Chains A and B, each alone.
Chain A
């Protein structure tokens, strides 16, 4: 989230699209009802199903899953055509005026530079004209035909209300009502918030779904303001934290990146990470990358990371592919190229697409280690559970070790919520049986591996032998010790540059924030954006002061938010070019002539002059990007692409199947179904009463929603002879499930390009372990393909067939 849950009360319009907050985030959704009740805010829901969020909406519009970009570009087109643009914001705070290189174009669904054999683009033309002064060329009059604004205008022009209806199945009048309501937020005194979740991410163009809305929010001037923003609701309790700390193939904590093998030395690695400003006087904050990186290396390898050895640069693995994401991991496993796998609180047998492939892949491992508080299906993938896990146990040679871990109630530490608040919690119960904390388990694995290398030797032992591990009890680092490492500390006395006799931070003291981090090895910090969470003032994440001056919803003294306790990102953009708030009643920051003051920690240098320094300080431009240069694989603008399995052809580009640059492994391409064989558009979703595959272990939740079902419209039920509560079989090219049929008015068939499209909803909470009845999930059916940029699997739009079958004998 750019903003926070409590900030939603400040909004005028909530758009829930690609999410269902009333059911998946009920207590956060209360801030939407608060805004409706106290401010008169309106709520729009755009969703294939009439969800519980829709049931309290002021306006609901149906949409076919996987067509959100067409809808959103349609709204942008509407705003441009009807002059509903926050012009001062758009001109000053976005790259609308930047001139794009000659040669860039978009035609027939493809941008310049497409190579079909590689399923990739040469992105060299997707960039700005650079002037002789080394800066990007801009035309503030927006007259230049190749300025971003004119290219955008041209790019979205085809997305008329008529085309939106053809693609999305949203009736034109409903689309126009939504577009009109949204467009009113172009006023500097009206704000809209976007609340989205996996309904946008789980597509082969998920990143571009979100970009499309971010672009709309920018031209309406809704980023950086109270009640505005792009608000990812997020899933697990610490999914934000795990992302921030970078527990992913290609990440280093704080959104730094793991080197590739084309960067053999520290210098070559840094050579592409200079982040020179693209316009005069801009902060381009990533210019500090080297300080953050060196501090990270010091946190990893302490005294062994020195200037002489490039701060142990060689000890970081170097990637040969963009990332070893989960789809690549299970592809490798499936082809016999992996031997071992660890699942720490993760249940891939039910979470990853094409379950048959997942089972086959796990069966080829030599060993699987599962650490979890609950008995997961993954740890038992080798057990035969009849139709619900039909495997030949004896033929599976995988050794499986299951380790009991503590749950939240028995553990202490911080979790980062969707609003980036790091909240410390304490343990209240004794772990059951022999369950152990995950940190203890990880410490034991490390110490034992280290001991083996010490005794036996072996290749590349240095990074293991030298890992910084100076905890009071090496067997179990405490949460406080680990949090202090994340914050960062001085590894040596740091002196005043003007007076070397004066020590400003003594060796071993905590740094106050990332502003104190250095690139000379005198500071260490595990995750620079968390710097400030636990400094010499103490554990700021444990703060529980509920004060909130003038009821802005900021709660600056409750817990601690990254970065530097800032609650709304890009908050300098809440004021106009001169530094005056766009809306005095929703003031966030103000320029008082010498500095920025207000209700939040300024997202800019406190003395940065408003007319000079742009609000988007992380970008070398100083402004936000409507055109994202070559930074995304599938285009500098979003474009409409159908899901890989779609009930209709792409009317914009009939020859293009799916996202043209999404990675597809060969055998998976053969397993995509087409609409002739699988006529129905399926989607997955969650229920109010359940959380993923955990709550089926909780008796009360298992009672509330005991049994797997699929949801279909009355029209489809009639057409197929399916009875309410009857049993059905649903199958795709990859698998088959049986379920109870829930026939509802919540799903209606849509008309897309003249064709009736039936939608089938498949909730995801069942398996063969726990207190609920055994059941299936959507991953028995879903295709093995991910988003072109970040490989999030396409769970939200795929094709199936359905038929009634005889039910179980009672």
Chain B
């Protein structure tokens, strides 16, 4: 049978009876039934689908994440496939060579998995707990801020400026993360503050 069935078309038609189809009327029902039986269950049929956006450039192609397990139901979800969102007005289901490799980025062997610290002069990272890492960071920040924040300049003007610790923000995070980041960084008085938009 030399006919092309799109994945969505195939899934949509899977529940339909053969007798009603043109092929059925021509007497090919048995052939199709045998053919259908020979096809292994479609890999993505039981996956959860989630709408997302490609993480690379600002074309912002729509993508669909397919996962085993559904995060929305509180399950552990492992992403097994990513493809372009055919409904998206910009990319209409297409992806470029960068976007087509997204799954390998999600599952890269060089993902960071645990907080680690490299002590002064050391030649290795050591695993530490989140609590220990965050407490240490807060301590380092406070000590530096206490010592170096400039409350007033030479003319006695209140400037409340902290220049000895800086923050580079990420332009692949969400607007919501960006806002949380902005609040935390600015409220501390940091002025050494930048993101990829600069470069």
Contact = CB atoms under 8 A, between A and B. Distances in A.
Interface stretch (B2-10, B13-21, B28-36, B56-64): B56-64
B191 A413 contact: no
Contacts of B130: 403, 434, 436, 444
Contacts of B96: 26-27, 688
A769 B110 contact: yes
B182 to A, nearest CB: 6
A344 B174 contact: no
A445 interface: yes
B46 interface: no
Interface of B: 48, 50-62, 65-67, 69, 71-72, 76-79, 82, 84, 87, 89-92, 94-102, 104-106, 108-123, 125, 130, 133-142, 144-146, 148-149, 151, 153, 155, 157-199
A460 B153 CA distance: 14
A317 interface: yes
A443 to B, nearest CB: 7
Contacts of A159: none
B111 A433 contact: yes
Contact of A698 (B57, B108, B141): B108
Contact of A399 (B92, B104, B117, B145): B117
A415 B79 contact: no
A261 interface: yes
A248 B198 contact: yes
Nearest to B91: A27
Contact of B146 (A261, A459, A555, A688): A459
Contacts of B89: 6, 546, 548, 555, 558
Among the interface residues A315, A366, A383, A439, which one has the most CB atoms of the partner chain B within 10 A? A439
A25 to B, nearest CB: 5
Contacts of B62: 423
B170 A439 contact: no
A375 B179 contact: no
A316 B186 contact: yes
Nearest to A383: B123
Given A245-B182, A317-B159, A438 B170 contact: yes
A464 interface: yes
A22 to B, nearest CB: 10
30 contacts: A25-B58, A27-B95, A235-B196, A236-B58, A239-B58, A242-B196, A249-B194, A314-B160, A317-B160, A326-B199, A329-B166, A340-B140, A340-B164, A366-B140, A374-B108, A399-B140, A401-B117, A404-B112, A421-B60, A442-B181, A446-B183, A460-B151, A464-B188, A482-B175, A555-B89, A697-B110, A699-B101, A770-B108, A771-B104, A771-B110
B105 A407 contact: yes
Contacts of A403: 112, 115, 130, 133
Given A315-B160, A316-B186, A417-B59, 19 more contacts: A239-B197, A243-B171, A248-B198, A318-B158, A328-B192, A344-B169, A394-B123, A397-B121, A407-B105, A415-B53, A418-B59, A430-B76, A434-B114, A438-B177, A463-B187, A464-B188, A544-B87, A688-B96, A699-B104
A533 to B, nearest CB: 8
A409 interface: yes
A507 interface: no
B190 A691 contact: no
Given A27-B99, A233-B58, A792-B199, A442 B177 contact: yes
Given A261-B157, A446-B183, A413 B105 contact: no
B149 A460 contact: yes
B142 A428 contact: no
A339 B76 CA distance: 40
A388 to B, nearest CB: 15
B198 A343 contact: no
9 A-B pairs with least C-beta separation = A345-B170, A433-B113, A413-B174, A428-B65, A428-B50, A417-B60, A340-B165, A26-B96, A448-B138
Given A25-B57, A235-B57, A394-B121, A341 B165 contact: yes
A342 interface: yes
Interface in A367-381: 367, 369, 372-375
A437 B78 CA distance: 17
A264 B158 contact: yes
Interface stretch (A450-458, A492-500, A728-736): A450-458
Nearest to A326: B194
A796 to B, nearest CB: 12
Given A404-B114, A463-B188, A444 B151 contact: no
A422 B101 contact: no
B171 A317 contact: no
A770 B110 contact: yes
B52 A300 contact: no
A344 B176 contact: no
A282 B151 CA distance: 41
B193 to A, nearest CB: 5
Contact of B175 (A402, A422, A426, A429): A422
A443 B177 CA distance: 10
Contacts of A467: 183-184, 187
Nearest to B153: A261
A235 B50 contact: no
Nearest to A526: B179
A374 B142 CA distance: 27
Nearest to B60: A417
A241 B171 contact: yes
B196 A463 contact: no
Nearest to B55: A408
A202 B110 CA distance: 30
Contact of A346 (B59, B101, B196): B196
A249 B121 contact: no
Contacts of A339: 144, 148, 164-165
A719 B196 CA distance: 38
A769 B132 CA distance: 26
Interface string A150-163: 00000000000000
Contacts of B112: 372-375, 402-405, 433, 435
Contacts of B174: 238, 241, 411-415, 479
A337 interface: yes
A507 to B, nearest CB: 21
Contacts of A372: 112, 170
Contacts of B178: 238, 241-242, 245, 247
A700 B115 contact: no
A170 interface: no
Contacts of A700: 100-101, 104
A602 interface: no
Interface string A270-281: 000000000000
A79 interface: no
B72 to A, nearest CB: 8
Contacts of B180: 438-439, 442-443, 477, 482
Nearest to B167: A342
Interface string A689-722: 1110011011111001000000000000000000
Contacts of B59: 5, 25, 27-28, 233, 417-418
A597 to B, nearest CB: 23
B74 to A, nearest CB: 11
A246 B198 CA distance: 11
A397 B120 contact: yes
Contacts of B189: 317, 460, 463
Nearest to A236: B171
B151 to A, nearest CB: 6
A244 B99 CA distance: 25
Contact of A430 (B71, B95, B122, B135): B71
A588 to B, nearest CB: 17
